[in-house]
Structure 1
Amino acid sequence: MAATRQLEINEKEAKLIELIRDLKFGEMRIVIQDGLAIRIEQITKSVKL
């Protein structure tokens, strides 16, 4: 039987998970500094010619 390990997440990590779950489809760029996500960028419009 494999042991499970519970992780503690900070406020920014919880917000990131929430944003990922709310995104129905698309792309997200995550900016990380010192091992922490500090900003995400979402593409709002893409036009295929």
Structure 2
Amino acid sequence: MKEAFGEEKQKTRKNEEKFKTLEKERSNALEMAKKAYEKRKEKETG
């Protein structure tokens, strides 16, 4: 029973790490998109 619980904890930890990585990538992508949008906007107005 203890072993199964330990494995479950490991899975949870891995999923949390995966989620953090995805969250970081998503925020990076949003940041890049925002910068690209601002550059395009400057070109159109400038």
Q: Is the structural similarity TM-score above 0.5?
A: no
**Greater RCO, 1 or 2 (C-alpha within 8 Å, sep 6+):** 1
- Structure having the higher helix fraction is 2
Q: TM-score, normalised by structure 1?
A: 0.29
Query: Which of structures 1 and 2 has the bigger CA Rg?
Result: 2
